[in-house]
Amino acid sequence: MAKTTKKAAPGTMKKVLAYIGRYKLLLPISILLALFTVASSLYFPVLIGDAIDCIAPWGDDSGFARMHEIFLEALILIALTALAQWLMSTINNRIAYHVVRDIRNDAFGKIEELPLSSLDKKARGDTVNRVINDAERFGEGLLLGFTQVFTGVLTIVGALAFMLMTNVVITVAVVLITPLSIFVAKFIGSRTFNMFKERSECEAETTAHIDEVLGNQKLVKAFGMGERECESFDKLNGRLEVSARRAIFFSSLTNPTTRFVNSVVYAAVALIGALAVMTPVGGMSVITIGMYSRILAYSGQYTKPFNEISGIIAEFQNALASASRIFELIEEPAEESDADSKELTEVRGSVEIKDVSFAYAPERPLIEDFSFTAKPGQRIAIVGPTGCGKTTLINLLMRFYDAKSGAILVDGENITDVKRGSLRSKYGMVLQDTWLKAGTVKENIAFGREDASDEEIVAAAKSAHAHSFIKRLKDGYETKLGEDGEGLSQGQKQLICIARVMLTLPPMLILDEATSSIDTRTEIRIQKAFATMMEGRTTFVVAHRLSTVVDSDAIIVMNDGHITEVGTHEELLARGGFYTTLYNSQFAKS
């Protein structure tokens, strides 16, 4: 499938070379092998030409002995060339696949290091596309570049050299005509560029429509909109047809036209060569029939790479464009290194928030000069309507984001002074957004403690009330879950997430609407398990059901991204502010 040529950022080639540079030893070997295969495949026609010259007219076998000598030479050459060809492709494969592997590893590693502020801004599909498809396309382009551009260029140079050695006049004629084919290829390429762009646009639009409709197929069906959606799809599909047909047809003209130019070159060589055989140009050695056939063979070999290289260069440019997209990801600034920071060791669980201000975007300040202290073992609730920014506070506590000013201290230690990992390991976190990895149920529960014994895992599952449903799964704890816990309901996933934390039991807890998808009866049981767990642990609870936060040590009330009130349930009710409205609304009867 032809693709549009995209521009790569400047300097991309240099970065690519740096990756290739890791395989320093292989590269020169590959180049040497390429030189050898090109030279020998060019030399082969010489041998064959000589052998043909050994053929005398009818009844004369005087040349046969010489011919057989040549054959022996040719056989050895064939064997060596084949071996060199294979070794070269093997080495090229190795370089290309290893470079792609290295780039992918770096890109993936970067995902783990990026600050969440930049990761949250990206569309997941886009990043995945870079790591997977762009890397793939780049690898293909690289391999093609290695195997074909390189040997192609060498073949052109070599063929010219051999032709020069055979006959200067013919060579000059060939060189003069060939730029034509490059010109033709370029002309067509530039004309089709816009057509491909148009096709890509049609394609993107059609794909977006498909994605929207099929992604919500059940909804489309529920409203009986199938026919209407078919109609709008057909419109897009029809436009795509027209633009695709045009782009594909015009781009496919390159090959026939360059082939035509080549056949003109071939005819010219045939003519000049034949004339030269008949009437040797003054002073020049006589051209034999064998040499004639050889020159014809060279002119074919010489023009062929032109045909291919124009196509490959476009492909290679696409590959570089892909590479530059991966490099964009790899070169993004990572989170500031904390290798030199100290470890946060034994924690009692006091959390002090001092004059903290934070905003995702500077023009929309959210948290301003907020101060708050949680003593070890206290239970702090964060409440407010959906989308009010409760999660922001968690982002700051866990250092997913850093406060703009002010400081958060854990046991008197500023959290920016300690290793992020050691801070985070002190929190057990259950988010509303359940995330499980592809793997068994057991692996998922033991995610935070791989050395946990089976008994411990079952115990954790039991306290999360997940044991009974896990037991009923096809393979119990060994049941394999798909990506993001595929095969489980939202509530079941949440229970496993809770079991995951139950197993690690860190000194502080963050429960972000941890039970939102679980029915209230089970929730009450889990709350009891949480209560046991929270004993002596500082806990931050984000809750949408206010009944569960009533007896917290402190309640932080948020609205519209701002912290509006802080206090105990009684204090807040007495104040009669936003919390009171919230609290009363849940008992409102219609």
Partner 1 sequence: MKRLLKYLKYYKKETVLGPLFKLLEASLELIVPLIIAAVIDRGIATGDTSYVVKMCLLLVLLGAVGLFFSVTAQYFAAKASVGFVTRVRHALFGHMQKFSYSDIDELGSSGMITKLTADSDKVQSGLNLTLRLLLRSPFVVFGAMIMAFTVDATSALTFAAVIPVLAVVVFGIMLITMPLYKKVQGGVDKILRKTRENISGVRVIRAFGKEEDEISEFKDENEKLTKIQKRTGHVSALMNPLTYVIINVGIIALINVGALRVYEDPSMTKGDVVALYNYMAQILVELIKLANLIISITKALASASRIADVLDKEPSQSFGTLENSTSASDYYLEFENVSLRYRSSGEDSLTGISFKVRRGETLGIIGGTGSGKTSLINLIPRFYDATGGSIKLFGEDIKNYSEAALRRKIACVPQKAVLFRGTIRENMCWGNPDAEDDELLFAIDTAQAAEVVSDKGGLDARVEQGGRNFSGGQRQRLTIARAIAAKPEILILDDSFSALDYATDAALRRKIRERIKDTTVVIVSQRASSVMDADLIVALDDGEAVGIGTHEELLSGCEIYREIYESQFGGAGNG
Chain positions 101 to 120 lying near partner 1, rule: CB under 8 A, are 101, 104-105, 108-109, 111-113, 116, 119
Cα separation of 523 and 86, whole Å? 65
User: Are 91 and 28 within 8 A, CB to CB?
Assistant: no
In the set 383, 514, 518, 572, which binds partner 1 (CB under 8 A)?
Answer: 518
User: Are 365 and 357 within 8 A, CB to CB?
Assistant: yes
- Mention every residue, 6+ apart, whose C-beta is less than 8 A from residue 279: none
Cα separation of 363 and 365, whole Å? 6
In the set 237, 416, 564, 580, which binds partner 1 (CB under 8 A)?
Answer: 237
In the set 26, 161, 431, 566, which binds partner 1 (CB under 8 A)?
Answer: 431
Cα separation of 392 and 87, whole Å? 57
- Is 205 a binding residue for partner 1 by CB under 8 A? The answer is no
Look up residue 488 and give its two tokens. 């489980």
- Is 207 a binding residue for partner 1 by CB under 8 A? The answer is yes
Phi, psi of 427 (to 5 degrees): -105, 140
Q: Residue 97 CB, nearest distance to partner 1 (Å)?
A: 5
Stretch near partner 1 under the rule CB under 8 A, chosen from 241-249, 339-347, 355-363, 559-567? 241-249
Site string for partner 1, 267-306 (x = CB under 8 A): xx-xx--xx-xx----------x--xx--xx--x---x--
Positions in 316-355 near partner 1 (CB under 8 A) = none
DSSP letters spanning 504-561: H--SEEEEESTTTTS-HHHHHHHHHHHHHHHTTSEEEEE-S-GGGTTT-SEEEEEETT
Q: Residue 245 CB, nearest distance to partner 1 (Å)?
A: 4
- Mention every residue, 6+ apart, whose C-beta is less than 8 A from residue 397: 351, 408, 427, 510, 540
- Mention every residue, 6+ apart, whose C-beta is less than 8 A from residue 557: 383, 384, 563, 564, 565, 566, 572, 577, 578, 579, 582
Site string for partner 1, 15-54 (x = CB under 8 A): --------------------------x--x---x--xx-x
β-sheet bridge partners, residue 542: 382, 512
SS3 358: strand
DSSP letters spanning 405-430: EEEEEETTEEGGGB-HHHHHTTEEEE
In the set 1, 65, 339, 361, which binds partner 1 (CB under 8 A)?
Answer: 1
Q: Residue 369 CB, nearest distance to partner 1 (Å)?
A: 26
- Is 462 a binding residue for partner 1 by CB under 8 A? The answer is no
Cα separation of 340 and 216, whole Å? 49
In the set 13, 18, 32, 82, which binds partner 1 (CB under 8 A)?
Answer: 82
In order of 12, 137, 139, 279, the CA distances from 143 in angstroms are 17, 10, 6, 47
Positions in 361-420 near partner 1 (CB under 8 A) = 385-387, 398, 400, 420
Q: Residue 10 CB, nearest distance to partner 1 (Å)?
A: 27
According to DSSP, residue 25 is labeled T
In the set 32, 169, 234, 471, which binds partner 1 (CB under 8 A)?
Answer: 234
Q: Which is nearer to partner 1, 292 or 302 (CB)?
A: 292
What is the Cβ-side half-sphere exposure of residue 161, based on CA atoms within 13 angstroms? Answer: 10
Q: Residue 195 CB, nearest distance to partner 1 (Å)?
A: 12
Stretch near partner 1 under the rule CB under 8 A, chosen from 15-23, 249-257, 313-321, 408-416? 249-257
Q: Residue 419 CB, nearest distance to partner 1 (Å)?
A: 9
Q: Residue 378 CB, nearest distance to partner 1 (Å)?
A: 17
Q: Residue 387 CB, nearest distance to partner 1 (Å)?
A: 5
In the set 517, 564, 568, 580, which binds partner 1 (CB under 8 A)?
Answer: 517
SS3 370: strand
In the set 16, 38, 100, 177, which binds partner 1 (CB under 8 A)?
Answer: 100
Nearest of 522, 547, 556, 549 to residue 534 by alpha carbon: 549
Look up residue 297 and give its two tokens. 């063979």
User: Are 276 and 287 within 8 A, CB to CB?
Assistant: yes
- Is 224 a binding residue for partner 1 by CB under 8 A? The answer is yes
Q: Residue 32 CB, nearest distance to partner 1 (Å)?
A: 17
In the set 23, 36, 43, 71, which binds partner 1 (CB under 8 A)?
Answer: 71
Q: Residue 391 CB, nearest distance to partner 1 (Å)?
A: 10
User: Are 575 and 565 within 8 A, CB to CB?
Assistant: yes
Positions in 485-514 near partner 1 (CB under 8 A) = 489-492, 497, 504
According to DSSP, residue 288 is labeled P
Q: Residue 134 CB, nearest distance to partner 1 (Å)?
A: 12
Q: Which is nearer to partner 1, 91 or 563 (CB)?
A: 91
Q: Residue 11 CB, nearest distance to partner 1 (Å)?
A: 25
- Is 136 a binding residue for partner 1 by CB under 8 A? The answer is yes
What is the Cβ-side half-sphere exposure of residue 89, based on CA atoms within 13 angstroms? Answer: 7
Helix, strand, coil percentages (3-state) for the chain, rounded to 5, are 65, 10, 25
E-strand spans in 339-469? 351-358, 367-374, 379-383, 405-410, 413-414, 427-430, 439-440
- Is 562 a binding residue for partner 1 by CB under 8 A? The answer is no
Stretch near partner 1 under the rule CB under 8 A, chosen from 159-167, 239-247, 451-459, 565-573? 239-247
- Is 83 a binding residue for partner 1 by CB under 8 A? The answer is yes
β-sheet bridge partners, residue 373: 352
- Is 193 a binding residue for partner 1 by CB under 8 A? The answer is no
CA dihedral 17, 18, 23, 29 (to 10 degrees): 30
- Is 524 a binding residue for partner 1 by CB under 8 A? The answer is yes
Strand bridging mode 508-512 / 427-430: parallel
Q: Which is nearer to partner 1, 298 or 477 (CB)?
A: 298
- Is 576 a binding residue for partner 1 by CB under 8 A? The answer is no
Number of residues this chain uses to bind partner 1 (CB under 8 A): 163
Q: Residue 356 CB, nearest distance to partner 1 (Å)?
A: 20
Look up residue 453 and give its two tokens. 């014994």
Q: Residue 355 CB, nearest distance to partner 1 (Å)?
A: 26
